Structure 1
Amino acid sequence: MAVAARAGFAARGLIYVLVGLIALEIAVGRDGGGRQADRGGALEELAGKPFGAAALTTVGAALAGMALWRLSEAVFGAAGPNGAKPSKRAAAAGRCVFYVFACSSVLSYAAGDRGSGSGSSDRRTDDVTAMALRWPGGPWLVGVAGAAVVVTGLVISIRALRRKFRQTLRTGAMSPRTRRTTDLLGVSGGVARGVVFAGAGVFAVTAAVRHRPGEAKGMDDTLRAFRDLPAGPSVLAVIALGLAAFGVFSWCCARWRIL
């Protein structure tokens, strides 16, 4: 199980590094080379490399390992003194579901389903929001979900700033320089990730208030919205570097995570 989890962290890191690099290209005016700054864009980038199909299959299998590890945490409890708490188990179950979908999209893309590719996060967000807004009480549901995503983003950023990630790493096995580097990557990466979550949540609330599904944005559209702010290209560049830093931090997790 430990091997599966570490492979999953490595795969997650690769996806975030690629997303960060694409977002950085968008920030400097290259528009990401036509790719979207989301998981689909990262898959498209991988597919264009030599042995791309093999790389995609490997990433998909690694994400399946991550899902399996999260399932084990939900069933048996996570490592640490509070790992068996109901809230921890529930969070692990939610992450398991997320990684099942992530694994499925990667393997589908590897099998030739380009509908799982670039821009898919934005299309799914529009489709799901439009469907939810048609339900009775739909705007309230979308608004509450958006607010929950905003809160989640803020929590992610605050926990990163407080270096809560240290509790899950074998910091004693690191050299002082490695600890400082890991702290820098964890803080900058976690804050950037939280900002993107919060931004997406704000757009979902806006879609609910205005009853316009198109106002909700996936990861790529959310990042591009930062570019359109005053001093936006610089803001997006900082966020892009933060997302890439989170990818490298994930590689640190693959090495030093307590499992």
Structure 2
Amino acid sequence: MNAGALTHKSRTKGRRMARGPAMEGAARAGLTARGVIYVLVGALAVRIGLGDGGPQADRGGALAEVAGEPFGAVVLWALGVGLVGMALWRLSEAVFGAAGKDGGKPKKRLLSAGRCLFYSVVAWSVLAFAAGAGGSGSGSSDRQSRDLTARALELPAGQWLVGLAGAGVVGAGLWIGGRAALRKYHEHLRLGAMSRRVRQGVDVTGVGGGVARGLVFATAGVFAVRAAVAYEPDRAKGMDDTLRAFKDTPLGPSLLVAVAVGLVLFGVFSFAMARWRKF
């Protein structure tokens, strides 16, 4: 057997593993873990909107809430392992292509690679928190955002880098919200396995949750752009400060509560994806 045949055989075997039961289980665990975190962050934000300062409405605040519950340490480790599964699933998509006819296109692979990197960082932070190391898992997302922005601004062409990154986050937020509003997630779901009522419920969570998530991303990106233009890293905001900023709009706390409920809906939608997603 020549080298080309061996390479082809290896790739075929890799694709089968990437789309096999083990990777499917890792993906479902990751989607479930993501759902738990979004439900918790959304619930914390609801409390803030209703006048309870409470813990920070970000990943660190959510993890702290979990840690304070019975068997909290076990849940934290489960969340961390689940997010590792999410990162591995996205890595397999980047290497072998995602499911579907367009899954092997470079654009799709690059998007999966970016998601792999993102969830790798999130998984590491959750596992660090579970191990008691704290660090980014327990730290304020607002402080992290300001520190990262300050370091970036000190680089050559730092203002441009931060501004372009912020614009990219704005674009990502609009893309997330737009795809949710258009129900593009349908192409990834086994709709035939759902009853009519279940499909309606999934659409409520998918549209409402996706639009809210996209709005939060886009708003955080706007703050990053403002920080770049003003050369003031303190203008950059993490998840918590971004959510609290909605209270300062003309709609006041009601807008924050609406967005927070949307994040809870996105968490529930993640559970639906874990149950009915195509692999």
**TM-score, structure 2 normalization:** 0.91
1:250 match: 270
Do residues 232 (structure 1) and 252 (structure 2) align?
yes
Residue number in structure 1 paired with 2:216:
196
Shift of 1:118: 4.5
Runs of 5+ consecutive residues of structure 1 not aligned to the other structure? none
Q: Which has the larger radius of gyration?
A: 2
Equivalent residues of 1:146, 1:205 under 8 A apart = yes
Q: Tell me which of 150, 160, 165 is aligned to 1:145.
A: 165
Partner of 1:91: 111
Matches within 5 A, 1:16-165: 16-31=38-53, 33=54, 35-165=55-185
Q: Judge conservation of contact 1:169–1:256 (CA < 8 Å) in 2.
A: yes
Aligned equivalents of 2:139 and 2:251: distance in 1? Answer: 25
How far apart are residue 238 of structure 1 and its match?
Answer: 0.3
For these two proteins, the number of residue pairs brought into alignment is 257
Percent sequence identity is 63
TM-aligned CA deviation for residue 123 of structure 1: 1.5
Deviations 1:133-183 (A, max 9, x none): 111211111111111111111111111110000011101110000001101
In the alignment, does 2:238 pair up with 1:218? yes
**What is the RMSD of the two structures over their aligned residues, measured on CA atoms?**
0.9
Question: Structure 1: how far apart are the matches of 2:81 and 2:134?
Answer: 18
Q: What letter corresponds to residue 29 of structure 2 in structure 1?
A: A
**One-letter identity of the residue aligned with 1:74:** A
Alpha carbons of 1:117 and 1:29: their partners in 2 closer, same or farther (altered >3 Å)?
Answer: farther
Do the aligned residues in 1 keep the contact of 2:129 with 2:138 (CA within 8 Å)?
no
CA distance in 1, matches of 2:122, 2:155: 27
**TM-score, normalised with respect to structure 1:** 0.97
Secondary structure at 1:136 match in 2 = coil
Show CA shifts across 1:174-203 (max 9, x none).
000000110110000000000000000000
- Cα deviation per residue 1:61-95 (whole Å; 9 max; x = unaligned)? 00001111111101111011100010000110111
Structure 1 residue 4 displacement after superposition: 0.6
Deviation (angstroms), 1:124: 1.4
User: Aligned partner of 1:66: which letter?
Assistant: M
Query: Greater RCO between the two (CA within 8 Å, min separation 6)?
Result: 1
